């Protein structure tokens, strides 16, 4: 994903923590899981673990140990435990018709990091995507619990549309997205137009494509951006309509990024309008 071991560790930790935040939980303890090559320089291993530890500390989480094994390719993540009151828990099955759909991070992580791997990404674009991937979903989750949100998921490898399809199916509803309202990284459109996508994005379209109906004016490379595999992406929240305006206002006043991108409907699947 990135070239520096510290940022690699921080991104992996933020990604792991999001599973608890997506349920409205407060993480409190984590264990390292690291598969590292025996010939990896020790200072690289140390930086990976430092990146994860400092991101966990930012979240108020104690890293209480973990497990390390040898592997040919470095792999790192956290097992995270958290608390949530049953009456406040969010799930993919909690969306209801009329709910407003809010997203806490922009899209375009997959296409931008793939451009980095191909040596085609501008330095400022790499800095932008790393900034978002290392950002915790803590504050968006806290606001969601405060405003009584019950439908949520985090947007990661299955893309916005893939995780949206899972939410729609679990809740027995449909989703309607407005493409013009969806936030993207600054140069995501440019990389998408050059058809720079990770393999997972193509897999997402193959698997979830028949559950999505696009307006005819949305071009194929723009459609692919909604299938783009994200790492440490944002939360997709289904907010009761009577609370969405107040939640967005609270987010603005507290500096928490949130965008309203659509609504929950009767039916099934996902409709994407311009």
**In CATH, which superfamily holds the domain spanning 5-86?**
PurM-like, N-terminal domain (3.30.1330.10)
235 and 261 Cβ atoms separated by less than 8 Å: no
> Where in the chain is CATH 3.30.1330.10?
5-86
- Per-residue pLDDT of 224-262, as tens digits, reads 999 999 999 999 999 999 999 999 999 999 999 999 999
Residue 62 has pLDDT above 80, yes or no: yes
What's the pLDDT score for residue 197?
98
**Sign of the dihedral through C-alpha 173, 269, 203, 183:** negative
**How much of the chain, in percent, has pLDDT values that exceed 90?**
99
Residue 3 in this model has a pLDDT that exceeds 90: no
Q: What is the pLDDT of residue 1?
A: 76
Average pLDDT, the chain: 97
The β-bridge relationship of strands 235-239 and 151-154 is antiparallel
Residue found under tokens 């094994």: 69
Give every CB contact of residue 66 below 8 A, 6+ residues apart in sequence.
Answer: 31, 32, 33, 34, 79
Q: How confident is the model at residue 2 (pLDDT cuts 50, 70, 90)?
A: confident
pLDDT at 84 over 80: yes
Q: What average pLDDT does range 149-155 have in this prediction?
A: 98
Spell out the CATH class of 90-273.
alpha beta
**What is the C-alpha radius of gyration for the chain, rounded to an integer number of angstroms?**
18
Tell me the whole-structure pTM to 2 decimals: 0.96
The pLDDT, as a whole number, for residue 11 is: 98
Cβ atoms 161, 258 nearer than 8 A: no
CATH 3.90.650.10 in the chain, residue ranges: 90-273
Helix, strand, or coil here: 106?
coil
């Amino acid at each position: 994903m990135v070239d520096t071991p510290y940022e690699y560790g921080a991104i992996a930790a933020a990604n792991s923590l999001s599973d608890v935040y997506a349920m409205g939980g407060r993480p409190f303890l984590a264990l390292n899981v690291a598969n590292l090559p025996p010939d990896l320089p020790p200072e690289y291993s140390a930086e990976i673990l430092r990146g994860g530890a400092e991101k966990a500390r930012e979240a108020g989480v104690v890293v209480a140990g973990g497990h390390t094994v040898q592997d040919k390719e470095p792999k790192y993540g956290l097992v995270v435990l958290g608390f949530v009151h049953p009456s406040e828990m969010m799930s993919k099955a909690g969306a209801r018709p009329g709910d407003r759909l809010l997203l806490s991070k922009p899209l375009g992580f997959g296409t931008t990091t793939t451009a980095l791997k191909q040596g085609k990404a501008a330095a400022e674009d790499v800095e932008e995507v790393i900034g978002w991937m290392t950002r915790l979903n803590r504050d968006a989750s806290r606001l969601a619990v405060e405003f009584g949100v019950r439908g949520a998921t985090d947007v990661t490898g299955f893309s916005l549309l893939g995780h949206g399809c899972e939410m729609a199916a679990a809740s027995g509803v449909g989703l309607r997205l407005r493409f013009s309202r969806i936030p993207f990284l600054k140069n995501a459109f440019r990389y998408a137009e050059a058809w720079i996508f990770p393999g997972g994005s193509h897999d997402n379209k193959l698997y979830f494509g028949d559950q999505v109906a696009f307006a005819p004016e949305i071009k194929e490379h723009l459609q692919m951006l909604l299938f783009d595999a994200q790492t440490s992406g944002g939360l997709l929240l289904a907010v009761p309509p009577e609370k969405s305006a107040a939640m967005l206002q609270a987010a603005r006043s507290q500096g928490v990024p949130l965008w309203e991108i659509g609504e929950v409907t009767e039916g099934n699947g996902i409709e994407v309008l311009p």
